[in-house]
Structure formats: C-alpha cells, structure tokens
Structure 1
Amino acid sequence: MSGGGWSWLGWALAAILFFWGIGAYNRLMRLRNAIGEAFRQLDQALTARAEACSKLLTLLRPLLANEQATFDALETAQLEASSAAQAARAKPYAGDPLAALAVATAVHGAALTRLNSLVEHHGELSGMSELNALLDELKLIERQRAFARQVFNQAVSQYNEALQQFPTRILAGLYGFAEARSL
C-alpha cells in the first residue's frame, strides 16, 4: 500500500509542476506581449514625430534655403530612426534592434534640437502661425513619446524582473525567453 501512496504523491507533484510551468510560461508571454503593446504606442509617437518633422521641413526649406545642411541632417536622422523602428517592430523585446533604435532616436532628437535652435535664431519666423502650430504639435508629440518610452521601459523592467525570479529563471531558458532591452 505504501508503494501506491508514493505513486499518487509522485503524480500529484508532477501535475503541480506541470501546471506551474504552464502558468510561468503564460505569465512570461503576457509580460512580453505587454512590451509589444507598449512599443506600439511608442512607435505611434515616433511616427507622429516623423510626420510633424516632414511638415516642418516642407515649411522651412523655402524660407531658409541657406540652411540646407541642417535640413539634410534632420532628414537623414529621420530616415535612420524610421528604419530602426521598422526593424524593432518585429521583435520589440530583442536587444540589437532596440539598441539601433535608441541611437537613431537620439540622433534624430539632436537634429530636431538643432532645427529648433535655428528657428529661434531667425526671429522673423516667430510670427508664422503655421510654424508655431507645428512647433507646438512637436512639443506635444515629444511629451507623448517620452511618456510612451517610460511605459515601454516599465514593461521591459517587469518582464526582466519576472525572468530573474527563481524558479521561473530555469524555465525561461527552456521556453526561449531572453532579457529585453529598454530604451
């Protein structure tokens, strides 16, 4: 009779471990999917910023023809940021595409800052309502982007924290989960 008791206990333990493993997998998937959702919101803000920058370039190019180098730098940075975002869309929790996106968005932000300084330097542009509206739109988009980035980084942090917890850490490797990179 004691042999049957151990058999029952063994099956119960196996069932507990099996269901715990399913629960751990589902939790990691939910947290990784949350990274994807947070990235979609960040990506929307990046796309809105690119569109607003394009409008700004279209407006300013004819007015400041001698500042072509600044416009070209912003346009190049915008293309690189868009390309990096495209690569990161497939796996927003993967390290290399996010590292490239972090660099590209920083370069784009610096080029945009240079353009803003250029606009401030040309005081005659301050009375243009269309320009002021675009600059206000960009400020709003930048706040949205910063918030979306914060939400994304928080989702990455929660996911990475779950990966580091024992015994989920053991199963994470078996399931193919790897640490995500924040921006």
Structure 2
Amino acid sequence: MSATAWIVLGFAVAVVLWAIAVYNRLVQLRNRIANAFGQIDVQLKRRYDLIPNLVEVAKGYLAHEAATLEAVIKARGQAVNAAGAARAAPASANALGALAAAEGALGGALGRLMVVAEAYPDLKADATMQSLSEELTSTENRLGFARQAYNDQALEFNDKAAQFPDLIVARLMGFPTVPMLESTRSEEERAAPQVRFSP
C-alpha cells in the first residue's frame, strides 16, 4: 500500500472514531435529559398525590364551593395524563407543551382553592390543611429546582448538537433540539409584588 493510501485510511479511521465519540456523547447527554425529567416526574407525582388529600380536607369546610373543588380534581386529572405523555417522550416539544399547559391550569385551580380557603378561618387553622399546604409549597420548590436541572441538561445537549462540527453527526443521526421547560407560573405571579404604604 502506498503512503497516500495509508494517509487516506488513517484520516478515514480518525473521522469514524471522532463520529463515534460525538455520537456517544450526544447519547449520554440525551440520557441525562431523561434522568432530569425523571426528577421532575417524581415531584409531580408527589404533588398529584397531595392534591386529593388537600381537596378532601377542604371538602369538610367548603361544602358550597363544590365547583372549585371539582375544578382542582379535573385539572389534576389532566395534568396526570399530560405528565404520563411527557414521561414517555421527555424530549418532545408537543408533550412538554401539553404538560406546561396542564400544569398551568392545575396551578390556577389550586390558586383559586387557596383564595377560597383564605375566607374560611377554620379551614386555615386546620392542622392537616396547614401541613398539606406546607408539603405542597415544599414540592413546588423542589419542582422549580428539578426544572432548572432539566433546562441545564437540555441547554448542554442543544449546545453540543448545534456546534460545528458536532452538528454534522447530530443531524445525520437524528438528534433533534430538546425544548426547554418554561415556568408554569403566570406573568402576574412572576411580577414583583407591589408594596404600598398607606399615608
């Protein structure tokens, strides 16, 4: 074999080894995204498990607020279904969008329940209700951290898959861009609170 043939063969082997290394790194990053979504899923399940208990405690005090309680249960059911679809495809923009919409609706329904609960001092003072509210708040905080971890992994994957020359392997091997998770909080909830002192 001539020297030129050896050079060409060496170059081809180097390209193949490089492509294998890039492919393996993209697979590793994709698996980290699935793991990060798994952490979100754990916290969502915890939240979904707390909600029926919260509604059950509230039922005793909010007999004539049945529509509010039913709205929470319905929103929870939709969120559970959306979470199942997202669990099956944690990198799917459609599944994550549906989950974000369902979580937004559930957050709104829970918010309305808490506003109604404020009008009932006995319910606010109920030890079980206070405990469940604290657990729900703790779970929301954990969800926030889990979403951030997911977004960090998605960003790392997207950066790797979009940079030349790695994007060649990403496109040839079918690695799509992974969507970022948005907060399920509304713009109003994210706005800074207005503090006003009366004169």
Residue type of the alignment partner of 2:67: A
Distance in 1 (alpha carbons) for counterparts of 2:119 and 2:147? 30
The answer (yes or no) to whether the contact 2:50–2:136 under 8 Å persists in 1 is: yes
* Alpha-carbon offset, residue 157 of structure 1: 1.0
* Alpha-carbon offset, residue 34 of structure 1: 0.6
TM-score normalised by L of structure 2: 0.88
Distance in 1 (alpha carbons) for counterparts of 2:124 and 2:69? 18
Residue type of the alignment partner of 2:176: A
1:84-120 CA distance string (max 9 Å, x none) = 1101111201111111011111111111111111112
Correspondent of 1:129 among 127, 131, 138 = 127
Corresponding residue number in structure 1 for 2:178:
180
1:8-59 CA distance string (max 9 Å, x none) = 1111111110011011101111111011000000001111011111110111
Residue type of the alignment partner of 1:172: A
1:111-152 CA distance string (max 9 Å, x none) = 111111111221222221111100111110010011111111
Please say if 1:21 is aligned against 2:19: yes
> How many residues get paired?
181
Runs of 4+ displaced beyond 2 Å? none
* Alpha-carbon offset, residue 62 of structure 1: 2.6
Residue type of the alignment partner of 1:56: L
Correspondent of 1:158 among 141, 156, 159 = 156
Distance in 2 (alpha carbons) for counterparts of 1:174 and 1:82? 35
Pairwise CA RMSD: 1.1
Q: Once the two structures are aligned, what percentage of the paired residues are identical?
A: 36
Q: Is there any run of 5+ residues in structure 2 with no aligned partner, and where?
A: 182-199
Query: Quick check: which one's helix share is greater?
Result: 1
Q: Secondary structure at the match of 1:65?
A: coil
Distance in 2 (alpha carbons) for counterparts of 1:55 and 1:141? 15
Corresponding residue number in structure 1 for 2:73:
75
TM-score normalised by L of structure 1: 0.95
Distance in 2 (alpha carbons) for counterparts of 1:154 and 1:38? 9
How does 1:80-159 map onto structure 2 within 5 Å?
A: 80-159=78-157
Q: Is there any run of 5+ residues in structure 1 with no aligned partner, and where?
A: none
